[in-house]
Amino acid sequence: MIVLDLECPQGHRFEGWFASPEAFAEQNAAGQISCPVCSVHPVRRLPSAAHVGRGSGSEVSPPAHGDPEPAQLLGQLLETLRNVAAHSEDVGDGFVAEVRRIQAGEAEQRPVRGIATAHEAITLLEEGINVLPLPPAKEDLH
C-alpha cells in the first residue's frame, strides 16, 4: 500500500492510498479518482517522500514474500492512525467549531482532533470539510 500526494486542477491537495503507482495511474485514467472537495477529475500526482518515518524511528517495510496478512495490515493501519492522532492538537469538545474556523481561514491550518458526534461528522463532510474518525493515541488509552 502506498500513500500518494494528489492535486486536482483547482489546486486542492489531498492524499490517496493505492496498491501501487500503476494502480493509481489506471484508476486515474479511468476517471475513478476525483477531488474530495470539488469532485473534479482527473487529478495529478505530486512529488512526495519515498517513506515517512514514525515517531519511534522505525520504518514500515514492504513484506518480503507475498501480500501481508489482513491482521498485519490492520495492525499497521491502527498504528499509523494512532500516530496521526498523537501528532495533532486535541481541541476536545470544540472540534466542530475549530475545524470550521480552520476551513474558513479564521484559525491556523494545523492537524486537530477532538470530539464530534456521528451526525456532526457527517455534516462536516457534507460541508466539504474532510474529517476522519481516529482511534485514541496510546497515551490516551490509560
Q: What is the pLDDT of residues 72-110, one digit of tens each?
A: 888 888 888 877 777 889 999 999 999 999 999 999 999
Q: 128 and 83: one domain?
A: yes
Q: Are residues 25 and 82 in the same domain?
A: no
Are 32 and 4 a contacting pair, CB within 8 Å?
Answer: no
Residue 55, domain member (yes or no) = no
Residues 17 and 75 in one domain: no
Q: How many structural domains compose the chain?
A: 2
Structural domain contains residue 16 = yes
Q: Is 31 helix (H, G, I), strand (E, B) or coil?
A: coil
Same domain, 11 and 74: no
Q: Give the rounded percent of residues in the chain with a pLDDT score beyond 70.
A: 79
| 3-state class (DSSP) for residue 2 | strand
pLDDT at 52: 44
The whole model's pTM is what?
A: 0.47
pLDDT of residue 51: 44
Concatenated DSSP letters of 47-107: P--S----TTS------SSSSPPHHHHHHHHHHHHHHHHHTSEEEETTHHHHHHHHHTTSS
Domain boundaries, position 102: 70-141
